[in-house]
Amino acid sequence: MRTPTRRHFIALASAGAVAGCGGQGGFSVVDPDHASAGTGADVGAGVQKLLVATTRTADPAPIAYGAGRAKTLDFARLAISIPPNHAVGQIERSRGSRADPARHFALTGAETLPDLEALVTAARAASTPGQEAVVFVHGYNNGFAKAAYRHAQVAWDYELKGPQIHFSWSSAANPFEYTYDRDSVLIARDALATLLRRLLREDGVRVSLVGHSMGGLLIMETLRQIALSGDRALLDRLSATTLISPDIDMDLFRAQAHALGHLPQPFTVAIAQNDRLLRLSSGLSGGAARLGSVEDLDQLEGLGVFVVDMTGIADTGSNHFLPGTSASAIALIKGLRDADALAPQSLSVGPVSIKLGG
């Protein structure tokens, strides 16, 4: 086992600052010079709505949350405008706090919700038969606004019609605070379990769970916690679980999966063996292999995992969030989804894999 050095931390911070999981700054709002655009509809902008459950401490600004760890969940509703010239995989952010909805992502609506029941009611109202509520859990080094923008962008690019529920845990939004973020993930397990238990018990609401990077670790730890508390059967009500570039030690993932008895199906993992950030994360962990960049798929044998290997997708960045940031990857995945060629409903052996690109 290799010992992590100061160089590992500096390299991880540098990669995290430019990777898909990076992000600082708050929301941009519509500039008064463009106030006539209102929600952006007058200039052809779209609007993506998010429901929010967060463990972050509230900032003084309305509907803003920081890096602190709150003792209770907070809830909100956001509306984010998507510019008409939006490029798939990108977040067209303003450089300042004011935005032109014809060119930028912008916060066009926000309100707090009083409690979890209000969020569930809003999710039910936004859902029609056959639609899924997507619970998205962001990764390492994410500020509140950046993570919400990314969720809005992904939902928009994939044309997801069901309610979007954004679970925002207390990331420091600082690439040098990797350990703080890992500890925040562990602290957030109870809160995510509370949210999932309530949603999964709601009749008429189908729930799909998606986690990126360290958010995948939070999902697995939470599923394990729910199962060990006696509610394992509840997890089989999940419509689907997807981990994108999960920052999880391979030995830990196998232990988590075995603790669950069996993974809820379908269970998909998107990997890239050339993921720069996970390579650095591995260095910080003594060289231990990460699930999101696993090379030997036999390590997943018998776990019921459907693997989407994106190593061959051309990208000039860190390769750490290809399903969300690569236009070609998004097009390929949407095509497979629409052809019903993704994730068989049940896998008792495995892994089953598909390679995209290259």
pLDDT of residue 26: 86
Task: Select the more confidently predicted residue: 118 or 352.
Answer: 118
Q: Which residues pair with 165 in a beta bridge?
A: 51, 135
pLDDT of residue 180: 97
For range 102-109, the mean pLDDT: 93
- Alpha carbon of 120 to those of 70, 72, 170, 243, 277: distances in Å? 21, 17, 22, 23, 35
Distance of CA 2 to the CA centre of its chain: 30
pTM (2 d.p.):
0.90
The SS3 of residue 351 is coil
pLDDT of residue 61: 66
Beta strands 206-212 and 238-244 are parallel
For range 89-109, the mean pLDDT: 91
For range 141-160, the mean pLDDT: 97
Residue 346 has pLDDT above 80, yes or no: no
Sheet holding 132-137, edge to edge: 98-99, 29-30, 106-113, 65-82, 46-58, 164-168, 132-137, 206-212, 238-244, 267-271, 306-312, 352-357
The CATH code for residues 6-28+114-357 is 3.40.50.1820
Q: Which of 115, 112, 155 is nearest to 135 (CA)?
A: 155
Q: Residue 313 corresponds to which tokens in the numbers above? A: 């997708």
pLDDT category of residue 358 using cuts at 50, 70 and 90: low
| Residue 119 contacts residue 94 (beta carbons within 8 Å) | no
Q: Measured between alpha carbons, how far is 54 from 76 in angstroms, rounded to an integer?
A: 9
Give the rounded percent of residues in the chain with a pLDDT score beyond 90: 70
- Alpha carbon of 76 to those of 25, 49, 115, 164, 294: distances in Å? 19, 11, 9, 12, 36
Mean pLDDT of all residues in the chain?
87
Q: Residue 119 corresponds to which tokens in the numbers above? A: 């969020």
| Residue 147 contacts residue 23 (beta carbons within 8 Å) | yes
Residue 320 has pLDDT above 80, yes or no: yes
Distance of CA 303 to the CA centre of its chain: 22
pLDDT of residue 348: 45
pLDDT category of residue 12 using cuts at 50, 70 and 90: very low
Task: Select the more confidently predicted residue: 14 or 280.
Answer: 280
For range 116-126, the mean pLDDT: 96
pLDDT of residue 22: 46
- Domain locations in the chain? 6-28+114-357
Query: What contacts 270, CB < 8 A, 6 or more positions away?
Result: 242, 243, 244, 245, 292, 307, 308, 310, 322, 323
Q: Measured between alpha carbons, how far is 320 from 316 in angstroms, rounded to an integer?
A: 11
The SS3 of residue 7 is helix
Burial 83-122 (b: 16+ CB within 10 A, else e): beebebbebbbbeeeebbbbbbbbbbebeebeebeebbeb
pLDDT of residue 331: 94
Q: Measured between alpha carbons, how far is 24 from 176 in angstroms, rounded to an integer?
A: 13
